[in-house]
């Protein structure tokens, strides 16, 4: 079944039949559709509503409004932080967020201990490359058993979290470069939702995050996203892509603002060891490389063949060659990294995973 996870796949009009609503529910695989009139929410129907109607020997050719619930639960944008609480309190599977005009702009879904958010995003339809060949040594002993791309974050693997975010933007052409425990990774994804979405590229020897990209030369053209397999970025990917194109960059690095504080007073001295100033608990802001990039495929031709090299080394080479390397800056809270155990726990907290 083809994945359809845009907001439009959860919206139906009042003039469709109950049978057509069943088809929509089957396609979105979430058990629910929202009925809209001129883009404004007027009702909701779940698969449970349809089952009860069928048991009462109702006609599937009847209009969907016949079984619509018009007293549905919804949130204003200013209250969307309460979504997880309301989903739990009311034991419902989904709750829409409405604009002032009454149009659905987001839908929050419950799934075990996880709350997922689907936004009304643009259809970018450019490839995504996930670098998933590393050994994940910082997550040992977990990665002695599971490869890092299959580490669970709630009821989904980290890879599924990444892929779902890009699918929301229409990016269904996804390449995963694999090496460590690659057969395990392939076996996990060979059945089910993602089997026709992810294309695996075998890295026979460890080539680094840059050398692995070389394997896609001739496979990709134009612009593509590249992501490490242990990060999640909360950003408007359309805005990121637009920034990249507007600035005509060869590579755009997505960088997070990170403040580092020293919990002590610091002392500055001169050459004679005389104290010249004191600073109490100074804090400095740095831009940190998140491991998420927008790249032009022209770069692939300049990567050396059969050589271990990281993407950061390639970027330094580009800077030395006066190529345009841009930085798209996001807040620290918009970057989630599970490369270390403490950061993994922070990721779970941000995603609302208990």
Q: Tell me how far CA of residue 128 lies from CA of 86, 160, 166, 253, 293, in angstroms.
A: 34, 13, 8, 15, 10
| pLDDT tens digits, one per residue of 12-28 | 888 899 999 998 898 88
8 Å CB contact between 215 and 201: yes
Cα 36 from chain centroid?
Answer: 27
Please give the structure tokens belonging to residue 151.
């580490």
Share of the chain above pLDDT 70, in %: 92
What is the spatial distance between Cα 3 and Cα 29, in angstroms, rounded to a whole number? 9
Q: Report the mean per-residue pLDDT for the chain.
A: 87
| pLDDT tens digits, one per residue of 241-283 | 999 999 999 999 999 998 888 889 999 999 999 999 999 988 8
| pLDDT tens digits, one per residue of 65-105 | 899 999 989 988 778 878 888 988 888 889 998 877 788 88
User: What SS3 state is found at 330?
Assistant: strand
Please provide residue 259's backbone torsions phi and psi, each rounded to the nearest 5 degrees: -100, 130
Least confident of 1-10, 251-260, 294-303: 1-10
Q: For domain 7-119, is the CATH number 3.10.580.10? A: yes
* Domain edges within the chain: 7-119, 128-350
CB-count burial class (<10 Å; 0-12, 13-18, 19+) for 93: middle
DSSP 304: P
- The arithmetic mean of pLDDT across residues 209-231, rounded, is 93
Q: What's the topology of domain 128-350?
A: Spore Coat Polysaccharide Biosynthesis Protein SpsA; Chain A (3.90.550)
Pure H helices in 191-310: 208-211, 237-246
| pLDDT tens digits, one per residue of 170-209 | 788 899 999 999 999 999 988 767 778 899 999 999 999 8
8 Å CB contact between 35 and 43: yes
């Amino acid at each position: 079944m083809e994945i359809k996870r845009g907001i439009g796949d959860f919206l139906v009009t009042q003039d469709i039949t109950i049978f057509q609503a069943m088809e929509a529910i089957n396609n979105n695989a979430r058990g629910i559709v929202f009925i809209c009139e001129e883009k404004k929410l007027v009702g909701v129907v779940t698969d449970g509503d349809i089952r009860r109607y069928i048991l009462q020997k109702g006609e599937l050719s009847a209009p969907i409004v016949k079984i619509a619930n018009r007293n549905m639960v919804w949130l204003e944008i200013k209250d969307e932080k309460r979504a997880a609480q309301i989903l739990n309190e009311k034991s419902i599977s989904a709750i829409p967020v409405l604009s002032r005009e009454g149009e659905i702009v987001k839908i929050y879904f419950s799934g075990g201990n996880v709350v997922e958010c689907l936004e009304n995003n643009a259809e970018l339809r450019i490839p995504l490359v996930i670098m998933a060949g590393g050994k994940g040594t910082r997550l040992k002993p977990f990665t002695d058993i599971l490869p890092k791309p299959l580490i669970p974050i709630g009821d989904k693997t980290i890879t599924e979290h990444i892929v779902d975010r890009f699918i929301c933007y229409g990016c269904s052409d996804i390449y995963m470069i694999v090496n460590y425990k690659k057969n395990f990774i392939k076996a996990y994804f060979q059945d089910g939702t993602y089997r026709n979405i992810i294309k695996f590229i075998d890295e026979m020897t460890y080539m680094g995050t840059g050398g692995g990209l070389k394997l896609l030369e001739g496979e990709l053209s134009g612009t593509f996203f590249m992501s490490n397999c242990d990060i999640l970025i909360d950003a408007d990917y359309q805005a990121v892509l637009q920034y990249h194109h507007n600035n005509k960059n060869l590579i755009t690095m997505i960088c997070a603002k990170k403040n580092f504080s020293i919990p002590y007073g610091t002392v500055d001295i001169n050459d004679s060891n005389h104290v010249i100033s004191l600073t109490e608990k100074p804090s400095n802001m740095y831009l940190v490389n998140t491991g998420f990039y927008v790249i032009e495929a022209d770069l692939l031709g300049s990567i050396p063949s059969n050589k271990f090299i990281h993407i950061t080394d390639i970027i330094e080479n580009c800077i030395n060659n006066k190529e345009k390397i841009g930085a798209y800056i996001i807040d620290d809270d918009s970057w989630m990294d599970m490369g270390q155990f403490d950061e993994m726990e922070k990721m779970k907290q941000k995603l609302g995973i208990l």
